[in-house]
Amino acid sequence: MSDNLQTLGDALPRLGDAVLVTLQLTLGGAALAFVLALLLGFGSRSHRGAVRVPSRVVVEFFRGTSLIVQMFWLFYVLPVFGFRLESLACGVLALGLNYGAYGAEVVRGSINSVPAGQWEASTALNLGHVHRLRRVIFPQAWALMIPMFTNLLIQLLKGSALATYILLHDLNYFTEQLRRSTQDTFFSFTFGLLVYFAIAYLLTLVMNALEVRAKNRLGAGPTLREVLRIAPVPATAKAGAA
Amino acid sequence: MTDRDTTPAIEFRGVVKRFGDNTVLDGLDFTVAKGDRVTLIGPSGSGKTTILRLLMTLEESNGGLILIDGEPYTHEMRGGKRVAVPEKRRRQVRRRVGMVFQQFNLFPNMSVLENIIEAPVHVLGLSTAQAVVRAEELLEQVGLADKRDARCTQLSGGQQQRVAIARALAMDPEILLLDEVTSALDPEIVADVLGVLREVAETTDITMLIVTHEMQFARDVSNRVLMFDHGRIIEEAEPEVIFTAPREERTQQFLSAVLGEDTADRS
Ligand SMILES: Nc1ncnc2c1ncn2[C@@H]1O[C@H](COP(=O)(O)OP(=O)(O)OP(=O)(O)O)[C@@H](O)[C@H]1O
Ligand SMILES: [Mg+2]
């Protein structure tokens, strides 16, 4: 065991690099996925066929194909057409497209879940189409989206491990290297699990904070400050939240 | 009287509305004069809500024309054909129409004040300061001046509905549509909301189209009552007449069911 720890200690700088690669893949992929989810999600609801149909096709295609095959395709096939992307770019792109397609369904579903009365009241107040979405519908849909986005983000983190196979030295790769140098399968893979779990847990905490804030803005639940107990909760707020 | 005064605020001309095979309105004609307070009564499913929703463009009609101040609203005749009016022009006409809903439909992501000033600022183009002044007046009028910065979710149903009324009035509508605005409220707070609406009726000349089961309110506020059955107006009279001496048997049945046999009106 002490040998294992010694080996791990020597590898620590590389662990830092590996975690950084995994975080780049995860956060880069999530950022791209988020933008695509909004574009494709709203596109899927459009009344114009020229917008809706392509959105649906893209969503169905990227949901319906395997992430690893998408990564391989970007990494090995795209260069055949003369576009060579770096490994990291391929990873981020594949993760973004794949999870963006899932996210688009989350966006579409959440927008549709905002009660009809909210749309109708906006019409009665003569709010324009874009204004209504931006100021009334989206803030309410956003609170519904976040828990589902949290799930997708964690899945995206785990999916990022596939980037090892397009030659990225991410956390998965590090774990494999650790196994080779320690010859201890249990130790190295358990260590890998724990580090992935720690990252996932941190991401979940951040997303939960976003969720608390979004719900509070809709007048439901406590403020983030109350949840975090950063400031002592005033007695009135406590009574209100109870 | 000038021409403008005699142009009806609302005119339905042969309006047809179907939901699938169910024809709810089959060539409905009626007019509402400017400043009229018209109550629609009739059994469940007779099409009262549908009429208000058509006027708010929440439903699309399948035939006929709806005119506001004599202007085509949702459809118009062009070259002998009935064509939809583009959204841009509908919006101009819709500006004159406001609606209060049974379920209030306040925006939960905004405070009371924000709910009221949102449309005046972004649709009418008032400055925020102007809109706030007007909103505060209206909150005063509905008795909720102290709730200005409250979240809508913290208000009771009756308070929410009063905010919704203030929100509709903030748009300075010429026509106000009220669809069973007290039906979702506890009996003891119905009076508050009706009181606010009575005051609106007394102090403004807004044309009102009211669907309600509160017959005393209908009697106090409206100058005309339309009795609907199966999407048709089967009787039309002043409230005094229709509530005391309805002509049609169907109206008598309906009113005795709603008012109960022991009501003074019926004895
Ligand atoms: N969205 C809809 N889809 C299908 N049918 C509908 C829809 N809205 C209304 N209807 C039908 O249209 C008819 C008239 O409904 P409407 O809501 O206008 O009645 P109402 O007079 O307001 O009744 P109530 O007193 O119960 O509110 C009913 O038969 C109803 O089932
Ligand atoms: Mg109704």
Q: Check pLDDT > 50 for residue A233.
A: yes
pLDDT higher than 60, residue A235: no
Whether A238 is covered by a domain: the verdict is no
What CATH code is carried by the domain that includes residue A196? 1.10.3720.10
Collect all residues of chain B within an 8 Å Cβ-Cβ radius of residue A135: 118, 122
Q: How confident is the model at residue A3 (pLDDT cuts 50, 70, 90)?
A: confident
Please state, in angstroms and rounded to a whole number, the distance separating the CA atoms of residues B227 and B48.
10
Does A109 contact B at CB distance below 8 Å? no
- For the cut 60, the answer to whether the pLDDT of residue A188 exceeds it is yes
pLDDT in the model for residue B6: 84
Instruction: Compute how many other C-beta atoms are within 10 angstroms of the C-beta atom of residue B230.
Output: 15
The phi and psi torsions of A120 (rounded to 5 degrees) equal -70, -40
Q: Between chains, do B109 and A136 touch, taking CB under 8 Å as contact? A: yes
How open is the CA angle B109-A114-B23, to the nearest 5 degrees? 130
pLDDT confidence of A220, banded at 50, 70, 90? Answer: confident
- Looking at the predicted complex, does its ipTM rise above 0.85? yes
* A49-65 pLDDT per residue, tens: 999 999 999 999 999 99
Residue A18 covered by a domain: yes
Q: Is residue A209 part of a domain?
A: yes
| d(C-alpha A177, C-alpha B2), whole Å | 92
A72 within domain boundaries: yes
- Tell me which residue has tokens 């609106």: B200
Contact A125 B57 (CB under 8 A): no
**CB pair distance less than 8 Å for A240 and B57:** no
**pLDDT the model gives residue A239:** 46
Percent of chain A residues topping a pLDDT of 90:
82
Q: What is the pLDDT of residue B49?
A: 96
- B142/B113 Cα distance (integer angstroms): 13
Give ion ligand 2 contacts, CB < 5 A. B 49
Q: Is B72 helix (H, G, I), strand (E, B) or coil?
A: strand
Amino acid letter, residue A77 = V
Could you give the CA distance from residue A131 to residue A113 in angstroms, rounded to a whole number?
18
pLDDT bucket at A228, cuts 50 / 70 / 90 = confident
A242 found inside a domain: no
Q: Would A171 be classed as within a structural domain?
A: yes
pTM: 0.87
Domain count for chain A, please give it.
1
Per-residue pLDDT at A102 exceeds 70: yes
Mean pLDDT, all residues of chain A: 91
Question: Distances in Å between the alpha carbon of A196 and those of A47, A67, A95, A160, A172?
Answer: 42, 19, 17, 11, 9
Decide if A239 is inside a domain.
no
Best A113, A119, A125, A134 member to test B by mutation, with max B CBs in 10 Å, is A125
**3-class DSSP state of B99:** strand
Query: What's the pLDDT at B5?
Result: 67
Most confident of A150-159, A233-242, B1-10: A150-159
| Alpha-carbon gap: A216 to the closest alpha carbon of chain B (Å) | 9
Residues A61-78: tens digit of each pLDDT: 999 999 999 999 999 999
Under DSSP, is residue B55 helix (H, G, I), strand (E, B) or coil? helix
**Are A120 and B109 within 8 A, CB to CB?**
no
Residue B42 Cα: closest atom of ligand 1: 21
Q: Rounded to whole angstroms, how far apart are CA atoms B72 and B53?
A: 16
Q: Say what the pLDDT of residue A241 is.
A: 42
**Looking at the domain assignment, is residue A231 inside a domain?**
no
Q: Which two tokens stand for residue A204?
A: 């979940």
**What digits encode the pLDDT tens for the residues B109-138?**
999 999 999 999 999 999 999 999 999 999
Spell out which residues of chain B touch residue A121, defining contact as CB-CB under 8 Å: 101, 105-107
Confidence label for A242 from pLDDT (cuts 50, 70 and 90): very low
* The predicted structure's pLDDT at residue B266: 40
pLDDT at A226 > cutoff 90: no
Report angle CA B110, B113, B118 to the nearest 5 degrees: 65
Under the banding of pLDDT at 50, 70 and 90, the label for residue A231 is low
- Residue stretches of chain B with pLDDT short of 70: 1-5, 261-267
Atom of ligand 1 nearest to the CA of B40: 21
Q: Tokens 């508050």 belong to which residue? A: B192
Residue A193 lies in domain: 2-224
**Tell me: the pLDDT tens digits for A108-129?**
999 999 999 999 999 999 999 9
Tokens standing for residue A102: 């899932």
